[in-house]
Structure formats: C-alpha cells, structure tokens
Amino acid sequence: MGILLAAYRDIIYDITMRKRKVRRFATSPSVTRSPRKVQTTLRLPRQLYERAKLFVDSGSQSSVNDLIVNALTAYVRALERKTIDDSFRPMATDKQYLREARGLAEQFAASDAETIEIGERDLIGA
C-alpha cells in the first residue's frame, strides 16, 4: 500500500511540475541557445499514416517520425533547388548574357579541347 501512495505522490508531483512556470534568467544557457529539435503535431490522412507505418513495420524506417523528417528534408531541398533554378531561368532569354556566355565559350574553346585531349590520354594510359 505504501508503494502505491509513493507512486501516487510522484504522479501528482509530476503534474504540478508541468503547470509550474519556470523563470529563466538572461544568463541561462538555454535562453541563448536555440533547440536543435522542435516538437510539433501533425494531422495526417489515415491512409498516408498507414502506408508510412508499413515502412516502419518492415524495418526500412526506424519510426514514423524519422520517415516524416527524412521526407520533409528531401522535399525542402527540392523546393530550394527549384527556387535557385527559377532564379536562373531568365538567363535563357537574356540576350546580353547569352552573347557574353558565347564569347567566353569561344575564348576557352582551345583550352577546353586541350583538357579533353589530356583526359582521354589519361584514360587510355598514353
């Protein structure tokens, strides 16, 4: 019976600790440092969750969280690449840029040909 009461007190203590406001001072390291991970809540369509869970159950992912983090990381990288590509897209129709690019290509044509020749010789061992 005493163990039950001790456990009950621990539960009450834990609940009150969550409600307690913690004062942090400016010198506290946790104030100056940003957390490496942020906890959030997602609402997923049930079918998507169940499909994701299949990968976890098969062992190809360690958890649904890891699967979501990996997928979101890849998606954000793709969006960043698309943003960069989109910023270069106007260059394809910029006449001044195209003229300068052709001029540079002509200036380096001999050097490029020499580099290709050296590379081919290295490949065949000559």
**What are 72-97's pLDDT values in tens digits?**
999 999 999 999 999 999 999 999 99
Find the range with the poorest average confidence among 17-26, 27-36, 107-116. Answer: 17-26
Give residue limits of the domains in the chain: 47-93, 94-126
- The confidence band for 126, taking pLDDT boundaries of 50, 70 and 90, is low
DSSP codes of every residue in 1-46: -HHHHHHHHHHHHHHHHHHSPPP--TT-HHHHSPPS---------H
Average pLDDT in the 64-68 region?
Answer: 95
| Burial grade of 16 (CB within 10 A; 0-12, 13-18, 19 or more) | exposed
Helix, strand or coil, per DSSP, at residue 93: helix
More confident residue, 49 or 122: 49
Largest CA distance in the chain: 91
Cα 60–Cα 66–Cα 18 angle in degrees, nearest 5: 140
Closest CA to 64 of 49, 74, 44, 47: 49
**pLDDT in the model for residue 35:** 78
